[in-house]
Structure formats: structure tokens, C-alpha cells
Homo-oligomer: A and B are copies of this chain.
């Protein structure tokens, strides 16, 4: 089986970790044997933008559709305003390819220390399901009286019944597939009376379809408290685009480092390719130094492998990653002194023993 993968390394450490992920994926396919990847590299980056004035060519989104999956490094660079780089690259891809679900698993891997006192391996084991197509990232809003002392700017969050129902169904299915079968739904419906109240209402409806899933509701502010003080009490979490963006970064930090965590942008209809990316970003301060933590990139690659139907190979890769963290081979963000290449080589070596 041959899978065509579009690789968009993007900016900064996105390049380092995409290279590392490709190396690991090659090794995995060679070792397991019954599948192979054909990678195509797309130079859609801030550097390219500065030269030619655009991130992706006009037919870029169309072009991506011919791939089986997309592997994404990171986008963002200090001399391009972030809202330009993101709306020029990552956000249009998520939208155009109907990747309405963003899945962000986090757990304290073997060998990694949580910054929390009372949180050992697996005490924190969450999957955050992020709504990825609407809400606070709908792109609506504007500015009036921009050049007067009277400027008014708006950000408009859009929530639709269709959008909410589908993300809840995905979240319930995820919860159902996990041993604890618990789903926590997050809103801020006490202060935001329209979209958030619609979330509450539709959640109550869909809950009835899943009697075997245990549910509860949290306000987003109180949710951060629970994540810190009772990490064991949470399992699957569903939240809006912005809330889940914030909570998933917090989750990554609580599990040891933002460098660990993967993110899958999924089109569950499978009509379009899905996109896999570590959540850490381009990290200009350490870019090009060869010291970026590739664990989040490998875990993202493993999620891609699973999504392509190679469940066993994907799980195997995650085990290899954890064997390496457990052996104490860690980059600086995790308190170690290994570099990207050390960790990559160690994971490749583990794969050979799968």
C-alpha cells in the first residue's frame, strides 16, 4: 500500500521536526513492510512568502486534495504578522479541506515528569476534541473608524447547529472508544448567552444518544483549575475552537512540555485529506539549532499512520516513542540534553526492534 503524503515543513523548527518525522516514518514503513510513503515537499513558508508574496499558490488547496494526508511542521515567523501567516496557510487548509475536528491527545508519557506535584505517568491521560471549523475562528469581524480616537473593532464567533452536532458526535464516539467513557463539555455560557447556550442545548440533546458515556459540563475558567488540581478526574474533553486551543496548550504544559503534543486536523467524512501537526509552533528562538523536541512530531506522525488505517503500526510507533522517553533520552525542554538527531536515531532504533 502506497500513501501519498504532502509535507509542509513551514517555518523555524517546523523544518527540523518534519525532516525528523519523515525519517521515522520511512524507517517504520521499511521495518513493518506492507506499506510505503511517497512524500512531496511543499515550500509554503514565511520565507517563500517574503520572496513571492504568497504562502501557497492559487490552486494550493485544490492541489492538496490529491494526497492521502498532509504532514505540517509549523508556521509563523517574527517578520510576518502572525495573522497574515496563519490566514495565509494553516487556517485556510483546515477550512477548505473540511477538517472540522481537531484531536489533541495528551498524557504524561513514561519517563517524563509533569510539572505538577501529584501527577505521575498516566495520571493525566486526556483527549481534547477541538471544534476546528467555526466559533471564534470563523474569521468574521471588522474595524470601523480605524483612524480616529473612536475606533471600534469586532470579532464575531459563529456557531451553527450542524457544526456543533458533528463535533459532539465525534467527541462522544471518542469517549465511547476509551476505557473510562467520560466526556466533559466546556463552554462559557454564563457570560456568552448565544452561541454558548446553543452548545449547552445541543449537548443535552446528543447526550441522550449515548447513554453509555458519562458526561459533565465545565466553564472554561473553572476547567483550568480542575486540570491543574484534579487531572485524574478528566478523560475526553470537548470545547470550542478558542477554548480548546487554550486548554490544549495548558494540557501539553501539564504533561511536561509543549514539545510533546500532537494535533490531528481531521475530515471525518474522509472526502479530503486530514492534516497532522505537532502543536508547538515555529519557535524562532531555537530554530535551526537542531535541538527541537521531535516527540510531538513523531506522535503526530503516529496519529497520521493510525488515521490511514494502519492502527497497529501507529500504536507501535507510540510505544517506541515512549520507550525512548522512558530510557531518559530527552531534549532540553524536558530537562535533558539530547538534540533532535539523538532522539530521532533512538526512535528509529526502537522501531527496528518492533
Contact = CB atoms under 8 A, between A and B. Distances in A.
Contacts of A249: 221-222, 224-225
Copy number in the complex reads 2
A148 B245 CA distance: 29
B161 A194 contact: no
Given A83-B189, A115-B228, A115-B229, A141 B195 contact: yes
Contact of A141 (B137, B153, B192, B245): B192
A76 interface: yes
A82 B258 CA distance: 33
Interface SS majority for chain A: mixed
Contacts of A219: 82
A85 to B, nearest CB: 8
A141 B194 contact: yes
A159 interface: yes
A208 interface: no
Contacts of A242: 188, 191
Contacts of A245: 188, 191, 220-221
B198 A82 contact: no
Interface residues of A, number: 67
B198 A143 contact: yes
A211 interface: no
Contacts of A207: none
A252 interface: yes
Given A191-B91, A242-B188, A224 B198 contact: no
Interface in A123-143: 136-137, 139-143
Interface string A185-197: 0001111111111
Interface in A7-53: none
Interface string A255-282: 0011000000000000000000000010
Contacts of A2: none
A149 interface: yes
Nearest to A244: B221
A86 to B, nearest CB: 5
B252 A191 contact: no
A155 interface: yes
30 contacts: A76-B190, A82-B190, A83-B192, A83-B193, A115-B228, A115-B229, A117-B117, A141-B192, A141-B193, A141-B194, A143-B194, A145-B161, A149-B161, A150-B162, A151-B160, A151-B161, A152-B159, A153-B159, A153-B195, A154-B157, A155-B157, A155-B159, A156-B157, A191-B245, A221-B249, A222-B249, A224-B249, A225-B249, A225-B250, A229-B257
Top 10 A-B residue pairs of the complex, sorted by shortest distance between their CB atoms: A82-B190, A221-B249, A224-B250, A151-B161, A141-B194, A228-B253, A225-B253, A153-B195, A155-B157, A83-B193
Given A142-B194, A191-B242, 17 more contacts: A76-B190, A82-B219, A85-B190, A115-B228, A141-B193, A145-B161, A150-B161, A151-B161, A152-B158, A152-B159, A152-B161, A153-B195, A188-B245, A221-B246, A222-B249, A224-B249, A224-B253
